[in-house]
């Protein structure tokens, strides 16, 4: 086997409840992840580029597609870190070439970097014939980042702790979405810092986060209308302050019939729940025509996590 290609989905947070900041700087979260049909593909091959072409790194990375120029190619790329982590565990050389085809927005609040790291773990594990146990891959994923484990499993799940401790959630049927892509991105760290600043400024007393019962009931029934009414993101106010045009985007989606609207994760992508596939298609067209986003992409969920396609 000289190359392996893995497809991996984006995520939207149906609920993102952020607890008080801990001593280690992180926050305890309740994070209801939902994998949607916007996919990146990562191909790992055993034909690495010459060291001079990859900056001296044993991992050579090329990126194409959505906002490819914004993706780092060095050791700050989570996919590169995934290669190195798996190679250390396997006791082998990390020499590999990665080709990443982007469709998930970069710095858009949909965990594209985490998705690529998860896909890289699966691709290199298959390329190298390691047969790493699922629990071990999940442990590696959690070390790489809070959103990486979910990208491995997909579907719908509740994440607790920093988001890395996952429990699957039963979902009836399929939900239809539109994702409005903004110009530029937002730093997750900046959005969390702004959330903390807002809470301090307003004297908000933040309790321990918990899963919303209404959200779980709506998912179990496959009730899109009920789900739209309970979508919630504690980071949304901070994201709106850091990227003020998002308020107009959210308003436009509601005006055009979205069942629910929220900023996805730390933003700036906005997510809109539609009542059908046809409604999602028309809603995307309406958002683009209104000029409130760079692009609007229909999608559906839940979908599976990282999996080999070639």
1 annotated as ligand-binding: no
d(CA 132, CA 128): 10
Torsion of CA 41, 42, 43, 46, to 10 degrees: 180
Q: Is 50 annotated as a binding residue?
A: no
111 marked as part of a ligand binding site: yes
216 is in an annotated binding site: no
Task: Judge whether 161 is annotated as a binding position.
Answer: no
Q: Nearest CA to 169 among 213, 210, 220, 211?
A: 220
301 annotated among ligand-binding-site residues = no
112 is in an annotated binding site: yes
Check whether 108 is labelled as a binding-site residue. Answer: yes
Question: CA 288, CA 237: separation in Å to the nearest integer?
Answer: 24
Q: From CA 310, how far away is CA 283, in angstroms rounded?
A: 33
Q: Is there a binding annotation on residue 142?
A: no
Beta strands in 161-231, from DSSP E residues, in sequence order: 165-168, 175-181
* Active centre residues (catalytic): 11, 147
Decide: residue 162, CB within 10 A, 0-12 exposed, 13-18 middle, 19+ buried: middle
Q: How far apart are CA 298 and CA 180, in angstroms?
A: 9
**Binding annotation:** 105-115
**Binding annotation for ATP:** 105-115
């Amino acid at each position: 086997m000289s190359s392996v290609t893995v497809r991996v989905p984006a995520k939207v947070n149906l609920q993102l409840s952020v607890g008080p900041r801990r001593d280690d700087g992180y926050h305890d979260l309740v994070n209801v992840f939902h994998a949607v049909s916007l996919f990146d593909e990562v191909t790992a091959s055993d034909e690495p580029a010459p060291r001079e072409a990859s900056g001296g790194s044993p991992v050579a990375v090329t990126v194409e597609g959505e906002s490819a120029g914004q993706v780092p190619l060095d050791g700050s790329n989570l996919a590169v870190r995934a290669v190195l982590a798996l190679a250390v565990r396997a006791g082998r050389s990390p020499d590999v070439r990665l080709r990443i085809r982007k469709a998930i927005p970069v710095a858009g609040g949909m965990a594209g970097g985490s998705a690529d790291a998860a896909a890289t773990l699966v691709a290199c594990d298959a390329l190298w014939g390691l047969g790493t146990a699922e629990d071990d891959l999940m442990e590696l994923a959690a070390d790489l980042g809070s959103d990486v484990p979910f990208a491995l499993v997909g579907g719908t799940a509740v994440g607790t702790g920093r988001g890395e401790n996952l429990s699957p959630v039963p979902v009836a049927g399929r939900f239809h979405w539109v994702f409005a892509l903004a110009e530029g991105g937002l730093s997750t760290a900046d959005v969390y810092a702004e959330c903390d600043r807002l809470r301090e400024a307003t004297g908000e007393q933040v309790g321990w986060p918990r899963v919303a019962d209404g959200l779980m009931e709506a998912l179990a029934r496959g009730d899109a209308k009920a789900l739209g009414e309970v979508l919630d993101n504690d980071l949304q106010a901070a994201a709106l302050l850091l990227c003020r045009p998002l308020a107009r985007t959210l308003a436009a989606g509601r005006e055009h019939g979205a069942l629910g609207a929220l900023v996805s994760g730390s933003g700036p992508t906005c997510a809109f729940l539609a009542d059908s596939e046809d409604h999602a298609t028309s809603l995307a067209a309406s958002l683009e025509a209104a000029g409130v986003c760079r692009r609007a992409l229909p999608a559906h969920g839940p979908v599976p996590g990282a999996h080999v396609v070639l």
